[in-house]
C-alpha cells in the first residue's frame, strides 16, 4: 500500500485534531446510533493513544470499545478527484461509519487500511465515527492471556479466594506481553486524492551487477493511461527510464545505499500513469545471508542497535514525529546502525527517516505473546489466519524501504511446550512469508530464553535471533554463572552454523541509583552486565549483532515486577542517558559496521 503523498496531482486533507470521544463498556452495542450517545462525550486528540490523555483511571484500564467522532466537509474543488480515507493505524480492531453507514472493518492495530470514498458528495458536511476495540485474547496479535494472568502477573496462585475473585472481576485486558496496551487512533487519519485513473502500487527490487545498479519494477494501476517510470539521481538528473507496468532499469555507475556513516544514497523513482504521478525514494543495495554472515552490498554487516518501542509520555503509542526525529539523532549519537521494530510495525514515517539516515531495520509483526496457555496454543488459538494477513500487509507496506533488511514474523512465541506443533506452525509460516517479498529478504522470528535443544524451529530461520537474560531473569546478579551458562548455549549455536543476533539482553536500571559494589538495578550493574556479556559475544564470529533491550524505558501494565514500567532502557523514557548508554557509545564507535570479526 502506497504512503499518501502531496504532489501536482495528489492532495491530502489531514483529519487530525480534537475529536469527540466516549468509552463504551457494552459489547459492541453500536451505542452511538442513539442520538444522545455523544452528548456525554469528551474531547480527545487524534492521533494519539487515548489512555494517558485524561486524569481518569477508566482511560487506562478500559477494556472494550471506544468511539471517536468528527465531521468534515470535502472541498467542492475535489469533485472530479478520486478520494480515499486512510487510517494509518487504529488499535486494535476498528469499525468505520460514514454518515451512519458502516464502511469498513479492520483487524489489527499497527497497519494502515483505506476506504475509497469517491462516492460521497464534495461540498457537503459528513459525519465520521470510528469505533476502536482494545480487547486482546487468543485470536489477537499481540495476544491476550484469556482467563489467565497478565505478563508477570501475580494472581495465578492456586488460592480459592483468588480464583473466585477472578470470576467476579469485570472484564480486564490481560496482556501476554510486556508493554502497555495503548489503544485508539494511534496514527494519522487522512483523506488523500488521486486522479480517477491512478497508480495503485509499486514494487522496486534493486540488485547490483559490477558497477551497474539494476531496478526491477512492477506497477499496479487502475483505469486507462500510459504507464512509465523514471529514476532521478540526487541532483534530479534522469539516470534511467522505462515504460509499461513491468521491466528492468539499469543505472550505470550506480551510487549504492549504505548504512550510516556510509552514504545512504537515494534515487527518486517518478512513476506516471495517465494523469497520476507518484514519487518514491529508492536505494540500491543488496542483502544476503551467506554461511555465518549477513551481507549488505556483499560485505559482512555487524548489527549494533536496539530493541525499541513506540512509547512516550502522554502520547502513549501515538504517532510522534518529533520523538522519531530525536530517536534517530540518538541512534547516531550511540554510534548504532540498526534497530528492530519490537514488537509491531511502527509508523511509516520512521522507516522513511531510516532510509534517509542510513539506519537498518529488522521489521517485526505484532505477533508477540503467542503462548501462555496450558494447552497447545497452536491448536486452541484462533490467530493463524490473522498472522498470515498481517505478514502480507506488512510486506506490502514496507517492501520498498532500503532500510528494511529482514522480516521478523514475531517475538518470543512458545516453541518448546509443543515443539512439533511449533515447528509445523512456524515452518509453514516461514515458507509462505518468503515468496511474499519480491526482494526475497531474509526471514526470522525472535526466540525467547528457552530450552534451545528442545526448540526445533529457531535453528531453521535465516538468522537465529535470540533474546537472552543470563544474569537478569536467570542466575540473577551472578555474572560469573551467567557467562558460564551463556557459553554453553553459544557452543550449541556455533554447531548450528548460522549467523546469530542477540536481539535482547538487558537489566532493569533505576537512573541515579549508584552502588560501589554493583548489584541489580544500579547503573553500575547495568554497565557491568553489558560489558561482561559483550566480551563473550566478541569471541564468537557467528554472533553478528547485539541489540540491548531496550533503547529507552517504556510503559507497561501495572504489576509486582514493574515499577513505573520496564526500566531496562539505556535511556530514560524522556531520553536521558544512563551510565550504560555512555558505555555503548564508546564501544560502538570503536566497532566497524562492516568486517568486524573478519
Ligand atoms: C522479553 C520480551 C520483551 C520484554 C523483556 C523484559 O521480548 O518484550 O520487555 O523480555 O522482560 O521477554 O524486559
Element (H, E) at 5: none
pLDDT value for 155: 65
Known catalytic residue at 30: no
CATH 3.40.50.1220 fits 301-588, yes or no: no
Percent helix, strand, coil in the chain (nearest 5)?
20, 30, 45
C-alpha cell at 153: 502477573
Q: What are 206's strand-pairing partners?
A: 215
Domain residue spans of the chain: 11-193, 196-285, 301-588
Cα(240) to ligand 1 centroid in Å equals: 46
Sequence-separated (6 or more) residues with CB below 8 Å from residue 479: 471, 528, 529, 532
Quick check: helix, strand or coil at residue 303? Answer: strand
Q: Is 505 in contact with 549 (CB distance < 8 Å)?
A: yes
Closest by CA position to 303, among listed 287, 314, 316: 287
Distance CA 84, CA 64 (A): 28
Q: Cα–Cα distance between 111 and 351 in angstroms, integer?
A: 13
Distance between CA atoms of 172 and 155, rounded to whole angstroms? 13
Task: Give the position of cell 534497530.
Answer: 339
462 C-beta closer than 6 A to ligand 1: no
Verdict on whether the full-model pTM lies above 0.85: yes
Report CA-CA distances (Å) from 105 to 3, 57, 115, 365.
20, 28, 10, 20
Q: Is the CB of 503 under 6 A from ligand 1?
A: no
> What does each of the 598 residues of the chain score in pLDDT, given as a tens digit?
999 999 999 999 999 999 999 998 766 656 566 667 888 789 999 999 999 999 999 999 999 999 999 999 999 999 999 999 999 999 999 999 999 999 999 999 999 999 999 999 999 999 999 999 999 999 999 999 887 777 776 666 688 888 888 888 888 899 999 999 999 999 999 999 999 999 999 999 999 999 999 999 999 999 999 999 999 999 999 999 999 999 999 999 999 999 999 999 999 999 999 999 999 999 999 999 999 999 999 999 999 999 999 999 999 999 999 999 999 999 999 999 999 999 999 999 999 999 999 999 999 999 999 998 889 999 999 999 999 999 999 999 999 999 999 999 999 999 999 999 999 999 999 999 999 999 999 999 999 999 999 999 999 999 999 999 999 999 999 999 999 999 999 999 999 999 999 999 999 999 999 999 999 999 999 999 999 999 999 999 999 999 999 999 999 999 888 999 999 999 999 999 999 999 999 999 999 999 999 8
Q: Residue 321 CA to chain centroid, in angstroms?
A: 15
CB 222 within 8 A of CB 85: no
Q: Whose CA is nearest to atom 12 of ligand 1?
A: 448
Closest-CA residue to 257 (of 290, 287, 235): 287
Q: What is the pLDDT of residue 560?
A: 87
Domains 11-193 and 196-285 belong to one CATH topology? no
Does the active-site annotation cover 523? no
* Res 226: pLDDT: 98
Q: Describe the strand order of the beta sheet including 246-251 as a list of residue ranges.
A: 198-209, 212-222, 246-251
What tens digit of pLDDT does each residue of 164-215 get? 888 888 888 999 999 999 999 999 999 999 999 999 999 999 999 999 999 9
Looking at the DSSP bridge assignments, the partners of residue 444 are 408
Answer for the pair 109, 221: CB distance below 8 angstroms, yes or no.
Answer: no
pLDDT at position 38 is 86
Catalytic residue, from 412, 460, 519, 546: name it: 412
| 196-285 carries CATH number 1.20.1050.140 | no
pLDDT of residue 214: 98
Q: Which atom of ligand 1 is nearest to the CA of 448?
A: 12
Domain at 11-193, CATH class: mainly beta
CA of 577 to the centre of ligand 1 (A): 20
Q: How far apart are CA 14 and CA 210, in angstroms?
A: 45
Q: Please state, in angstroms and rounded to a whole number, the distance separating the CA atoms of residues 159 and 361.
A: 45
Contact 32, 23 (CB under 8 A): no
Residue 308's pLDDT is 98
Is the CB–ligand 1 distance for residue 566 below 6 Å?
A: yes
Supply the pLDDT for residue 373. 87
Amino acid at each position: 500500500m502506497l504512503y499518501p503523498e502531496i504532489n501536482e496531482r495528489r492532495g491530502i486533507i489531514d483529519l487530525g485534531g480534537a475529536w469527540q470521544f466516549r468509552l463504551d463498556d457494552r459489547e459492541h452495542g453500536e451505542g452511538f446510533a442513539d442520538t444522545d450517545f455523544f452528548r456525554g462525550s469528551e474531547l480527545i486528540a487524534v492521533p494519539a493513544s487515548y489512555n494517558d490523555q485524561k486524569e481518569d483511571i477508566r482511560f487506562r484500564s478500559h477494556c472494550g470499545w471506544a468511539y471517536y467522532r468528527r465531521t468534515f466537509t470535502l472541498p467542492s474543488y475535489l469533485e472530479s478527484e478520486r478520494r480515499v480515507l486512510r487510517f494509518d493505524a487504529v488499535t486494535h480492531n476498528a469499525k468505520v461509519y460514514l454518515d451512519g453507514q458502516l464502511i469498513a472493518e479492520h483487524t489489527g492495530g499497527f497497519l494502515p487500511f483505506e476506504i475509497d470514498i469517491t462516492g460521497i458528495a464534495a461540498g457537503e458536511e459528513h459525519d465520521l465515527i470510528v469505533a476502536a476495540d482494545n480487547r486482546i485474547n487468543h485470536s489477537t496479535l499481540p495476544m491476550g492471556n484469556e482467563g489467565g494472568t497478565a505478563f508477570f502477573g501475580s494472581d495465578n496462585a492456586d488460592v480459592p479466594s483468588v480464583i473466585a475473585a477472578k470470576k467476579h472481576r469485570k472484564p480486564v485486558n490481560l496482556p501476554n506481553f510486556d508493554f502497555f496496551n495503548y489503544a485508539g487512533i494511534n496514527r494519522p487519519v487522512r483523506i488523500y486524492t488521486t486522479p480517477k485513473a491512478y497508480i495503485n502500487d509499486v514494487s522496486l527490487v534493486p540488485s547490483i551487477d559490477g558497477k551497474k545498479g539494476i531496478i526491477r519494477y512492477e506497477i499496479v494501476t487502475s483505469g486507462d493511461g500510459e504507464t512509465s517510470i523514471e529514476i532521478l539521481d540526487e541532483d534530479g538528473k534522469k539516470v534511467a527510464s522505462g515504460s509499461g507496468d513491468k521491466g528492468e532499469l539499469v543505472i550505470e555507475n550506480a551510487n549504492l545505499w549504505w548504512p550510516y556513516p556510509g552514504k545512504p544514497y537515494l534515487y527518486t523513482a517518478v512513476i506516471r500513469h495517465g494523469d497520476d504521478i507518484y514519487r518514491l525514494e529508492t536505494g540500491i543495495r543488496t542483502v544476503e545471508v551467506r554461511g555465518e554472515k549477513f551481507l549488505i552490498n556483499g560485505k559482512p554487516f555487524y548489527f549494533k542497535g536496539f530493541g525499541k518501542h513506540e512509547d512516550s509520555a502522554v502520547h502513549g503509542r501515538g504517532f510522534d514525529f518529533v520523538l522519531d526525529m530525536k530517536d534517530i539523532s540518538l541512534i547516531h549519537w550511540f554510534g548504532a546502525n540498526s534497530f528492530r521494530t519490537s514488537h509491531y510495525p511502527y509508523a511509516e514515517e520512521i522507516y522513511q527517516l531510516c532510509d534517509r539516515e542510513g539506519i537498518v531495520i529488522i521489521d517485526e509483526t505484532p505477533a508477540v505473546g503467542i503462548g501462555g496457555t496450558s494447552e497447545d496454543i497452536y491448536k486452541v488459538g484462533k490467530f493463524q489466519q490473522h498472522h498470515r494477513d498481517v505478514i502480507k500487509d506488512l510486506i506490502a507496506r514496507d517492501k520498498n524501504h532500503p532500510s528494511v533488511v529482514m522480516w521478523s514474523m514475531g517475538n518470543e512465541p512458545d516453541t518448546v511446550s509443543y515443539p512439533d506443533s511449533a515447528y509445523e506452525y512456524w515452518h509453514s509460516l516461514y515458507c509462505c512469508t518468503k515468496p511474499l517479498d519480491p526482494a526475497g529478504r531474509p526471514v526470522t522470528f525472535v526466540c525467547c530464553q528457552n530450552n534451545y535443544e528442545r526448540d526445533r524451529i529457531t535453528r531453521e530461520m535465516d538468522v537465529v535471533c535470540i533474546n537472552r537474560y543470563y544474569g537478569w531473569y536467570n542466575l540473577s546478579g551472578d555474572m560469573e554463572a551467567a557467562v558460564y551458562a551463556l557459553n554453553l548455549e553459544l557452543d550449541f549455536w556455533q554447531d548450528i552454523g548460522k549467523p546469530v543476533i542477540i536481539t535482547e539482553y538487558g537489566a532493569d536500571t533505576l537512573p541515579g541509583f549508584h552502588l560501589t559494589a554493583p548489584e541489580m538495578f544500579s547503573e553500575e550493574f547495568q554497565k557491568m552486565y553489558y560489558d561482561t556479556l559483550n566480551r563473550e559475544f566478541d569471541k564468537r564470529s557467528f554472533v553478528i549483532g547485539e541489540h540491548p533491550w531496550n533503547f529507552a524505558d517504556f510503559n507497561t501494565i501495572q504489576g509486582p515486577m514493574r515499577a513505573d514500567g520496564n526500566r531496562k532502557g539505556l535511556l530514560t523514557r524522556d531520553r536521558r542517558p544512563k551510565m550504560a548508554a555512555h558505555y555503548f557509545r564508546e564501544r560502538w564507535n570503536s566497532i566497524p559496521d562492516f568486517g568486524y570479526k573478519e
